[in-house]
A and B are shown apart, each in its own frame.
Chain A
């Protein structure tokens, strides 16, 4: 069991005593090797759930066990260490460093793990997403799909247990989006756990399990029998 939440509650309180309940008593478990899509309209709490899963935020109440660790009450620096070692992030806006080569972007997480910086790992990660020819290109010289693939390589480079993808195809055209989903499906086949947040049903249907949130509550949790399979020739080695 990779993720287990019980009675998870998240309340945002702004200065003037107005409380917004973003998550209400969520109970959920995710096993190693799953490919989960979290869906819901905006304001449903899916981003909040993802931030908590990604150790970017702490729940207000309830417990969150990640890979056997009780995350509640850990310090910021401890959370940073967990993110660095065990979680890879892919964002809608790619969030690559501008004027920095693809290779240096991929190396970034390695800089923060206080070990020998193995550039070969970064090259392998870029090879995996089919960018062997683009090591020294800057983000501005790459297409959206290629930039997102650099971001995936950056998420892979630390060999994390979990990959968190927040609307990874939101800024891409359909073809590039399919390529990205194909990469996620391949990574999942290789045993990586993937959690995907999206509001597009078409994208969610690439996952093996779809969780639907509404007003901070889990309203459905289904395993897909006939999921969509994206295969784009020439992307994976």
Chain B
């Protein structure tokens, strides 16, 4: 029996009971749709997180002041007074893999504008901050070298802070806000960045000149952290080692277990997060795959019913010369066709579903060709796996018994 005729026969078998075939297929449609949608959402989440972290500067090293132990009591991270502006300058000057440095001093403070007030993070920064942190002023201007040299009281606001202090129609630039009761003039608004991995929300911050922060606001001579832009992403480990060496010499530390600073590598954070979202994708896909198996059981159930219902037909086919494999293939192809048709519809549904969820969640969903192939392969495999038993059962029917079946 040739393939074309077998296909025609299977199509006829499916079309005889349209509603039942459609309902059976629905199990596969939902299963495949769920797999495609879940995997694309997971992939979308991964690339969203990845691009956000890369937006923070993918070749960024952060040197945090360490947690000193005072009389056996461990203090908070960054509270050590060991990092200085001189350290930052030395890094830029003597480590070849370091392209640029941004020394930073940040603390929380109360900020007031007329009747509005908020508590936010105040960061003293240098002009290099914009480039190193890949974080730019959207309106007005950023802190200049001149602002730092003269310890000017000027401030650049993050979007969140600007929204809290100023009402919608109001122009913040040029207005005077008070940080710890010291008046500052707003000279710019930063672009929207969102929260980054590990660090706090970068939109909820106010940037002021580093010298102003040190001498006028916080009265501190040390830095909280130094952000380092490494020349290229593949030199991260080398740069990290060189910085550690230099700072140990400068801080006169010989035992590496007693270092008073910590280096955070953005690439490591990225890897960790990618692993997490990868696991998430796997988990979502796995749950969706279970629904595909449930759909497959539905196929098997209906094929068994169909074989019983069509016992006389099978008997007749055998009487007129159908061999075992003819009957086997007829039923197997029927179940595979059901599953593949369900797979096609499921890919469509999964595509629509992932686009809809992507819109709602606000991140792009990624439909990979490989996940579509995988869905097809799996729905075909489900068809074979769950169709083979009913098909074997049909092929083994004795023609006499089958013809007599009422």
Chain A contacts to B: CB under 8 angstroms: 51, 54, 56-57, 76-77, 80-81, 83-85, 89, 91, 95, 97-100, 108-109, 111-114, 117, 154, 158
Contacts and interface: CB of A to CB of B under 8 A. Distances in A.
A112 B322 contact: yes
A197 B283 CA distance: 65
A77 B313 contact: no
B400 A81 contact: no
B16 A80 contact: no
Interface residues of B, number: 22
Interface string B325-340: 0100000000000000
B318 A111 contact: no
A89 B320 contact: yes
Interface in B268-326: 312-313, 315-324, 326
14 contacts: A56-B319, A56-B400, A81-B321, A83-B320, A84-B320, A91-B316, A95-B316, A97-B313, A100-B12, A108-B317, A111-B1, A112-B317, A112-B321, A112-B322
A95 B323 CA distance: 18
Contacts of A84: 320-321
Nearest to A97: B313
Interface core residue of B2, B318, B319, B322 (most chain A CB under 10 Å):
B319
Contacts of A91: 316, 403
Interface string B5-16: 100010010001
Given A84-B321, A112-B321, 6 more contacts: A56-B400, A80-B323, A81-B321, A81-B323, A99-B12, A109-B320
A48 B362 CA distance: 74
A95 B400 contact: no
A95 B403 contact: yes
A57 to B, nearest CB: 6
B321 A76 contact: no
Contacts of B319: 54, 56, 83, 89
Contacts of A77: 323-324
Interface of B: 1-2, 5, 9, 12, 16, 312-313, 315-324, 326, 399-400, 403
Contacts of B324: 76-77, 80
A56 B403 CA distance: 11
A109 B326 CA distance: 12
B16 A99 contact: yes
Contacts of A76: 323-324
Nearest to A78: B323
A109 B321 contact: yes
5 interchain residue pairs of minimum CB distance: A84-B321, A112-B321, A109-B320, A77-B323, A95-B316
Given A77-B323, A83-B319, A112 B312 contact: no
Contacts of B315: 95
Nearest to A107: B5
B240 to A, nearest CB: 73
Contacts of A154: 320
B323 A117 contact: no
Contact of B321 (A95, A97, A113): A113
Nearest to A51: B400
A112 B316 contact: no
Contacts of A89: 319-320
Contacts of B313: 97
Contacts of B400: 51, 56-57
A112 B12 contact: no
A56 B399 contact: yes
